[in-house]
């Protein structure tokens, strides 16, 4: 994603009038980008955001040569999350499909809106074989896609120097 869009999304998130949209989720502050709020400040960016996600998904599908792909799929409304420095804002080991209620998810999509020397997403951290581990560095404009269920256990590490901002969404079966 373009750095200019990443920076604009962060500025919009942090703008004082938009603090009313902030919610706490798993110790993190989040904003539902497609809220029903009148005059949603994120509305001007949704078209470009969806283009980034859909083109990245197609690239993922083509590069991995995935032949059994759903004919139709949906996209969970994206959420933007902020991780503050200091160790409290992190997301410990988990999977994103752990019940019937969220079993419609089939692909995780994280977009990093800021650079962080630390604060990576670590995928499959519970494996006994460290060679199976994948570390996605929090790099401005980068995107990581992976399945949301076992064995892709993952965690969002706490940033060390500067706050970490991400947008997260999921592809759904329809």
**Which pLDDT band, with edges at 50, 70 and 90, does 128 fall under?**
low
Please state the three-class secondary structure of 19-33 as a single string: HHHCEEECCEEEEEC
> Does residue 125 surpass a pLDDT of 70?
no
Residues in the chain, how many? 174
Residue with tokens 């005059």: 39
The CATH number assigned to the domain holding 146 equals 2.60.120.620
Question: How many separate domains does the chain show?
Answer: 1
CA-nearest of 18, 8, 41 to 113 is: 8
Kindly give, in sequence order, each residue whose CB lies less than 8 Å from that of residue 38, ignoring residues fewer than 6 positions away: none
User: Higher confidence at residue 153 or residue 57?
Assistant: 57
Domain of residue 11: give its range: 3-173
Predicted confidence at residue 131, as pLDDT, reads: 65
**Which pLDDT band, with edges at 50, 70 and 90, does 130 fall under?**
low
Kindly give, in sequence order, each residue whose CB lies less than 8 Å from that of residue 159, ignoring residues fewer than 6 positions away: 83, 84, 85, 89, 116, 118, 119, 138
């Amino acid at each position: 994603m373009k750095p200019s869009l990443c920076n604009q999304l962060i500025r919009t998130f942090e703008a004082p009038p938009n603090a009313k949209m902030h919610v706490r989720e798993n110790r993190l502050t989040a904003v539902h980008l497609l809220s029903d709020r009148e005059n949603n400040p994120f509305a001007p960016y949704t078209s470009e955001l969806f283009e980034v996600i859909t083109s990245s998904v197609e690239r993922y599908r083509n590069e991995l040569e995935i032949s059994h792909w759903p004919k139709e799929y949906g996209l969970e409304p994206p959420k933007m999350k902020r991780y503050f420095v200091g160790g409290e804002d992190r997301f410990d080991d988990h999977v994103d499909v752990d019940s019937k209620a969220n079993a419609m998810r089939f692909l995780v999509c994280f977009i990093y809106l800021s650079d962080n020397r630390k604060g990576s997403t670590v995928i499959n951290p519970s494996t006994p074989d460290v060679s199976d581990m994948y570390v996605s560095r929090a790099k401005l404009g980068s995107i990581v896609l992976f399945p949301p269920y076992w064995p892709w256990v993952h965690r969002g590490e706490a940033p060390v120097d500067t706050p970490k901002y991400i947008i997260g969404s999921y592809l759904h079966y329809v």
